[in-house]
Amino acid sequence: MGSTRPLNVVIGAGGTALEGWFSTDSNILDITSPHDWRKLFKPESIDRLLSEHVLEHLSEPECKMALTQCYRYLKPYGLLRIAVPDGYRKDADYVAEVSPPKDGHQVLFTVDTLVPLLESVGFRATPLEYFDAQETFHFFQWDEADGYIERSLRFDTQEEFKRDNLFYTSLIVDAKKV
């Protein structure tokens, strides 16, 4: 008999282990490879995907390829939660930490580049935490049960990135398969 438990998958998990989530990393799942996805999952079988600080390590064409696979393997109305460094956050320490090519970063997204990319694949994108082009921070309440993001307004405490009441923040977007 099949399980009714939701299939929640962390992509690019590194050492992250979340209860109720299946963690993958590049040695298990190359998110740009249709072959790797087929080995592990059936199309439209995943309820939620979580990607915290993964996409910035891919080129723009690789990001589109990975997002296309995410869309294919999510169930209808499934959710992909993404967190990446925020290109509109301009304080010097943060910019030095997240700008390409630091730590293998290839892309520095903003809300104005990530949302259209997600929509080009078919997702309906909802920004949750982000800086806008005028460097104003925006926050909309989100449920960590849909994907816990450590580097977020609510959960991060890295003092070296503290700016007013913010620590290390990310551009966080929910992408719903419609």
The candidate with the shortest Cα–Cα distance to 64, out of 130, 104, 122, is 122
- 1 pLDDT exceeds 70? no
* DSSP track, 4-31: -S--EEESS-TT---TT-EE--TTT--T
**What average pLDDT does the chain have?**
96
Q: How confident is the model at residue 5 (pLDDT cuts 50, 70, 90)?
A: confident
Query: Is the Cβ–Cβ distance between 123 and 175 less than 8 Å?
Result: yes
pTM: 0.96
Looking at residue 3, its pLDDT comes to: 55
CA distance 23 to 36: 14
Q: What is the mean pLDDT of residues 111-131?
A: 98
Q: What is the mean pLDDT of residues 107-121?
A: 98
* DSSP track, 53-66: S-GGGS-HHHHHHH
Looking at residue 67, its pLDDT comes to: 98
8-177 homologous superfamily: Vaccinia Virus protein VP39 (3.40.50.150)
The 10s digit of each residue's pLDDT in 11-45 is 999 988 999 999 999 999 999 999 999 999 999 99
What are the residue boundaries of the structural domains of the chain, listed by start?
A: 8-177
Query: Is the Cβ–Cβ distance between 51 and 58 less than 8 Å?
Result: no
Q: Which secondary structure element, helix H or strand E, spans residue 129, and what is its range?
A: strand 123-131
